[in-house]
Structure 1
Amino acid sequence: MVISKRGLVLGATALVGASVVLTGAGLHFSKSWALFKESPKEIVDEVWQVINHDYVDGTFNGTDWRAVRNKYLKRNYSSNKEAYEAVREMLEPLEDPYTRFLDPEQFKSMQIDTSGELTGVGIQITQDEKSKEITVISPIEGSPASQVGILPKDVITKVDTTSTEGLDINEVVGLIRGPVDSEVMLTVKRGDEQLSFTIKRQRIELHAVESEYRPSASGGIGYIRLTQFSSNAAADMRIAINKLKKKDAAGYILDLRLNPGGLLYSSAEIARMWMDKGTIVSTVNRRGEVDRLTAGRGKLTDKPMVILVDGGSASASEILAGALQDNNRAVLVGDKTFGKGLVQSVHPLEDGSGLAVTIAKYLTPSGRDINKKGIEPDYTVKLSEEQLEERTREKFATSADPQYVKALDILLEKIVAKDSTQLQSAATD
């Protein structure tokens, strides 16, 4: 299995306002596909062919996939809309919320905006495979959703007056999206509470990396916050590390909390900045073919490092955290991560629609399958619901943030221990 630099996406199911879109690997369609060109059946068969060729589960969740094709191609479709409904129905037996069909409008609105902006409320959501509940993975830092108090794990029960029960994730995304400056009301279930938030849709400028040099008695600390694994995240991370190196940072805190993921190659490139050898991640497709991404003597610093994670750290965040934890490059502090260990490829279809399809699962360097399990931090610091609700941007990564305080304590201990070891080594020499 060959990992394409631009062929894989590791994000949650939907980012309301934008999403990651990548061209899929070249597919070889059967001759029969050509018979349906210029007809709605073309869409149905094209989707079937992509799933048949690439889907991670060769049993198709116990479904006779060839019988599915015959069933849906025997139908007559008077419009593309009818074909779209058939495609979504065809995908249901897979019971995979990450494999989903996007009509042209949805596909266009969910493409990467190369300017680094998106329009919407700024939340990333997923749909539970069993309950079908629409759950918030993470609000984007500084987004309208974040500002009104939407939290990870909130279950969206209504959009305005429309219940989300029985809706698929694309339908919910369609309800949440809308023009800039218009308002939408989200009703969420948080524990035993039902809460409603009125949110004004905005154009959101995305900055993947924020960094700051923070003085301390044991040496300056380089604090880096990574909010998403976008196409420019690796370049921004390199700039941030080099700036902090020039200030002689004695150690680093990498904050991956509320980072819902993004591009696989971005997480791998960033991992290589922190480690010079070892496996970063391995992927396994349905044929059992394993491919590994490795580091190769390109790290920018060997200073002590602590990573902050929580339940909003998903997919590509988990790859990076798992790689540095398994290779003993960093310790993890915070709460258990989200638990998304699947890889999707997004395919543009002939009529302008698109298909996201799960093509592989990934394992951490030690062979851990973290899907639905998450990664346990080395030091667990759980926040209460009250603490989460009170955690504003001003309090994030400050003395008012218990997870950050613990990470800082551990990092300072590591800096002192490293300095002591170096002094002992120098004395011996």
Structure 2
Amino acid sequence: MRKRVFWPVLALVLPLVLTLIWWVPPAAALTENQQLFSQAWRIVNRAYLDDTFNHQNWWLVRERLLKEPLGTREETYEAIEGMLASLDDPFTRLLKPDQYRSLQVNTAGELTGIGLQIALDSESGTIQAIAPIEGSPAFDAGLQPGDLIWEIDGVSTVGLTLDEAAARMRGPVGTVVVLTVQRVNSEIREKIEMVRSRIALNPVVASLKTSTTGVPVGYIRLGQFNGNATAEVAAAINKLEEQGAQAYILDLRNNPGGLLQAGIEIARLWLDSGTIVYTVNRQGTLGSFEATGEALTDDPLVVLIDRGTASASEILAGALQDNQRAVLVGERSFGKGLIQSLFDLADGSGLAVTVAKYETPNHRDINKLGITPDRVVSRGDLMPTQIASGSDPQYQAAIDFLATEAVLAHAS
């Protein structure tokens, strides 16, 4: 009786297995474009954070799209983009060769365009400003975190990918781009004209300030976590120490992040010991990065954050807050707790793939939630020229706090 049940079931399963195997074309039979598509599929299959692939059969996605002609490279790119779109993750995306080169140049410390970091706004389907880079055309035009960009040179941004929108905002130095912008808490859309320029991504501005009680305060504003950031922050701390700083303000407002490793290394400049960040992969495996040595200073520290503080900035702020190394002042941060890695494709293009999420040392998952400061202070309508002045309420709150803390620290 048992055999009569077993063999019919086996007979049904075996043809199905043989059918699936039959549909796998040998590598030698694939065209160059099919091989490129398969390479992209394999990278996502191996590395993507969500092993359900947005609750779909990832193998069948590959099989269906490999049946498409893929006669040209552009058709292949469209197939890869369609495959990635099914994940419903705007951070996992194809970077065509020119986009990939541009991203690599950006993280190295150079940029041409208007200097605006952007994200996709899930509610409107359009592009949202995260933060303008200081000194850029976007910064000078007064763009703020949360502003919605509805059009770029008259072209609707609804449905554009981040890289497509960024490509439209980039361009030769001296050329004009017009953005249709809806400000935060406003229903009005206005057109803003900007002239593209070459933007030097010198991420650090530092100076010695004086508190109301005469305490010398080292002020460091960090605009982006690029390849230069760690060395420049270290140099700024050392110089301010030589000038007699007794307390510090680290300004991460409007800092959209950048290189994860830079965020970790800068945390080590402030921490003697302790966990900086945990990473969690799709198997749920925890990895961690730790402080590895003596900090450059143990003086009291305030970190300024706002809704433009994102990604690597949030890693740094969370590490300093959870290790009780700093007091956070300002507004709730952006809330990007996902980590992407870049992968090369055979034709010079690349993939940005979400490979992990991070948690703060106290195991807080801040994705879409952000980090809440210890002292909530509204930024208000702050002009660029008013940053780190008496007209800057968040900076002034930090100065007032440190005026007392620095005196107590040095007295003890």
TM-score normalised by length of structure 2? 0.90
Structure 1 pair 131–53 and aligned structure 2 pair: CA distance change class (3 A): farther
Aligned residues of 1:185 and 1:196 also touching (Cα < 8 A): yes
1:362 maps to which of 358, 361, 366: 358
More helix by share: 2
Task: State the match for 1:316 in structure 2.
Answer: 312
Kindly report which structure 2 residues correspond to 1:117-128, keeping only aligned pairs within 5 A, or say none. 117-128=110-121
Task: State the match for 1:7 in structure 2.
Answer: none
Unmatched segments (≥5 aa) in structure 2: 1-23
Which amino acid is the alignment partner of residue 395 of structure 1?
A: Q
Task: State the match for 1:24 in structure 2.
Answer: none
Q: How many residues align?
A: 386
Aligned residues of 1:33 and 1:42 also touching (Cα < 8 A): no
2:65 maps to which of 69, 72, 78: 72
Task: State the match for 2:35 in structure 1.
Answer: 42
Give the Å deviation of 1:130.
Answer: 5.3
Aligned residues of 2:108 and 2:227 also touching (Cα < 8 A): no
Is 1:336 aligned to residue 329 of structure 2? no
Task: State the match for 1:201 in structure 2.
Answer: 196
Task: State the match for 1:402 in structure 2.
Answer: 393
Task: State the match for 1:284 in structure 2.
Answer: 280
**What CA deviation, in whole Å up to 9, does each residue of 1:132-163 have, x standing for no partner?**
22111001001011111211111110011111
Structure 1 pair 107–342 and aligned structure 2 pair: CA distance change class (3 A): same
Give the Å deviation of 1:166.
Answer: 2.4
Aligned residues of 2:127 and 2:149 also touching (Cα < 8 A): yes
Which amino acid is the alignment partner of residue 402 of structure 2?
A: L
Q: Distance in 2 between matches of 1:33 and 1:109?
A: 35
Aligned residues of 1:97 and 1:129 also touching (Cα < 8 A): no
Structure 1 pair 114–284 and aligned structure 2 pair: CA distance change class (3 A): closer
Q: Distance in 2 between matches of 1:160 and 1:415?
A: 51
Give the stretch that moved more between structures: 316-325 or 114-123: 114-123
Aligned residues of 1:208 and 1:229 also touching (Cα < 8 A): yes
Task: State the match for 1:148 in structure 2.
Answer: 141
Give the Å deviation of 1:75.
Answer: 1.4
Task: State the match for 2:181 in structure 1.
Answer: 188
SS at match of 1:53: helix
Give the Å deviation of 1:416.
Answer: 2.0
**What CA deviation, in whole Å up to 9, does each residue of 1:186-214 have, x standing for no partner?**
00112312121111111111111111011
Q: Distance in 2 between matches of 1:121 and 1:138?
A: 11
1:165 maps to which of 158, 161, 178: 158
Aligned residues of 2:149 and 2:181 also touching (Cα < 8 A): yes
Task: State the match for 1:26 in structure 2.
Answer: none
Q: Distance in 1 between matches of 2:286 and 2:114?
A: 38
CA RMSD, 1 decimal: 1.6
Give the Å deviation of 1:33.
Answer: 7.8
Give the stretch that moved more between structures: 186-195 or 259-268: 186-195
Which amino acid is the alignment partner of residue 410 of structure 1?
A: F
Give the Å deviation of 1:269.
Answer: 0.9
Which structure has the bigger radius of gyration? 2
**What CA deviation, in whole Å up to 9, does each residue of 1:74-106 have, x standing for no partner?**
111110001111111111121101001111122
Q: Distance in 1 between matches of 2:94 and 2:267?
A: 32
Which amino acid is the alignment partner of residue 220 of structure 1?
A: P
Give the Å deviation of 1:285.
Answer: 0.3
SS at match of 1:257: coil
Give the Å deviation of 1:110.
Answer: 2.0
Q: Distance in 1 between matches of 2:29 and 2:393?
A: 59
Task: State the match for 1:300 in structure 2.
Answer: 296
Q: Distance in 1 between matches of 2:107 and 2:86?
A: 35
Q: Which structure has more RCO (C-alpha within 8 Å, separation ≥ 6)?
A: 1
Q: Distance in 1 between matches of 2:294 and 2:194?
A: 44
**What CA deviation, in whole Å up to 9, does each residue of 1:382-405 have, x standing for no partner?**
133xx14xx12x211100101100
Which amino acid is the alignment partner of residue 362 of structure 1?
A: Y
SS at match of 1:231: coil
Q: Distance in 2 between matches of 1:232 and 1:38?
A: 42
Unmatched segments (≥5 aa) in structure 1: 1-30, 423-429
Is 1:275 aligned to residue 271 of structure 2? yes
1:215 maps to which of 206, 210, 234: 210
Which amino acid is the alignment partner of residue 39 of structure 2?
A: E
Q: Distance in 2 between matches of 1:215 and 1:122?
A: 31
Aligned residues of 1:185 and 1:198 also touching (Cα < 8 A): yes
Is 1:347 aligned to residue 343 of structure 2? yes
